[in-house]
Amino acid sequence: MKDLKWDGIGHSRLASLTEAEFDALLGPILNDETLSILSPLSLYPDIPDAKHWARHLKNWGEPDPEDYSIVGMAIGLNSWHQSETATDIRWARVLSMVLAAKVIFQPEMKHLVDEIVGYPDVGDLRKVRPSIRAMEQSFGAPELQAEATQQGSWTENFWTQSKRETECYLLPRNIVSSADHSEISRQIISCYRALAKHFNDQESYVVADARLDASFGIAFYMIQLLATMIHGRSGSRLEGRIILRTMAECHIVLSYLKEIDADATWAQYRNYGTGQAKLAFLKIVDLDSKDLPSFVKKDDLEELANEDRWLEFVDIDLGSWAKMSLRDMSERAKKKDIYDKYYGWASGYVHGHWSAVRDTVFDLCGNPLHRFHRIPGPPRINMADATPDAVKLTNLTLDLVNALYPSFKPRIKIS
């Protein structure tokens, strides 16, 4: 044993040992009980140290497929690198490095050597375990990478075989019972009617009152989006996030318009939108009806673009209507908190960012032998409910209407 080149752990290290060396080294655990636990190794006849296990395992050559569950459990227990069992494995690496004199300790660190050699019976394990993990991590990966290279395709074969021979296991989802929003639905209708009455009560004698139309228009738009969320039961689905993001943007825009509250800015908002209608119209005007997008009607666009003035005189403005980003708009309107809470993450669902796609489309396979890969799941209907957020943004927008055209008191309550 003295001359044994034992500077690490792993199957390829064990494979390089002679039968005598192997038996001497692992002698203490080569008993019936341990060999019974290790019997699943026979599932993998190409492990580098197979020749040694073939001598000791009774079921070698006759693997039991049921043993894959034991391998899976072992990997599952160690998937979290700070788990107790994972720490035990990392301790084995630390111990091998200590015994191979690859780590030099100062005399005052003798207690550390005692704790490593005597693990888990020496010292306070609440301190010993973290120090073992830290020490193992400090060794870095080169040796393990060299080990993997030496093992060649074995590691890959292990995962390929394990995945091929075992089934996916869909992790159970947290089932969220969908809340009953029928009371909100009733309030939406009465609130919409009250807002329509309040709009009609305004004595405006301007043909195109940009301030009036935008203030109430955005508020009506918010209520319709909320109604869409409620009636489509989409608060707990993907659509709820997309709707909420639009609501956050609308609220910030109206907050900004109210903050500035200048005729030119109200007009700028309105003219930009009209210009967008003209731009869209010009892009489809020469298309045959069979080439038109299904959601667009050419006549509707022409009418929208012509509503305030002849289409020929409408300017087309590119970029942002306010010449600033929504983030800047939110800061100017003192609504940065709304931007941070409701706009950023929800935008990921609008843009199809990876995390949103992952959250919406995929479930996790819980089979540790599959390395927790993703599998497409049924459409998610159990996301956290966006409805309370949508109600809040709607009420905050009604607050803006109340400030611009006092007084408007109805709000939507959520129990």
Interaction site with Zn ion (CB under 5 A): 168, 365, 367, 370
**Choice between 251 and 370, CB closer to Zn ion:** 370
Minimum distance from residue 175 beta carbon to Zn ion (Å): 21
**Choice between 72 and 235, CB closer to Zn ion:** 72
Minimum distance from residue 374 beta carbon to Zn ion (Å): 9
**Choice between 18 and 79, CB closer to Zn ion:** 79
Q: Which of 210, 241, 214, 212 is closest to 225 using CA atoms? A: 241
Task: Compute the distance between CA of residue 217 and CA of residue 196 in angstroms, rounded to an integer.
Answer: 10
**Choice between 48 and 368, CB closer to Zn ion:** 368
**Amino acid found at 233:** R
**Choice between 93 and 370, CB closer to Zn ion:** 370
Determine contact, residues 68/43, Cβ cutoff 8 Å: yes
Minimum distance from residue 373 beta carbon to Zn ion (Å): 6
**Choice between 252 and 365, CB closer to Zn ion:** 365
**Who's near 231: CB < 8 A, 6+ residues apart?**
185
Burial of residue 302 (CB within 10 Å: 0-12, 13-18, 19+) is middle
> Residue 83: is the preceding peptide bond cis (ω within 30°)?
no
Task: Compute the distance between CA of residue 278 and CA of residue 302 in angstroms, rounded to an integer.
Answer: 7
Express the helix, strand and coil content of the chain in percent, nearest 5 each.
Answer: 65, 0, 35
Q: Which of 217, 189, 186, 223 is closest to 202 using CA atoms? A: 217
Minimum distance from residue 104 beta carbon to Zn ion (Å): 45
Minimum distance from residue 367 beta carbon to Zn ion (Å): 5
Minimum distance from residue 137 beta carbon to Zn ion (Å): 29
**Choice between 12 and 367, CB closer to Zn ion:** 367
Minimum distance from residue 272 beta carbon to Zn ion (Å): 50
What's the sign of the alpha-carbon dihedral 153, 158, 161, 167?
negative
Minimum distance from residue 82 beta carbon to Zn ion (Å): 24
Task: Compute the distance between CA of residue 314 and CA of residue 327 in angstroms, rounded to an integer.
Answer: 28
Residue spans of beta strands (DSSP E) within 264-386: 362-364, 374-376
Burial of residue 16 (CB within 10 Å: 0-12, 13-18, 19+) is middle
**Choice between 245 and 370, CB closer to Zn ion:** 370
Task: Compute the distance between CA of residue 25 and CA of residue 389 in angstroms, rounded to an integer.
Answer: 63
**Choice between 75 and 168, CB closer to Zn ion:** 168
- C-alpha count within 13 angstroms, C-beta hemisphere, residue 155: 13
Minimum distance from residue 187 beta carbon to Zn ion (Å): 46
Specify the 3-state DSSP secondary structure of 392.
Answer: helix
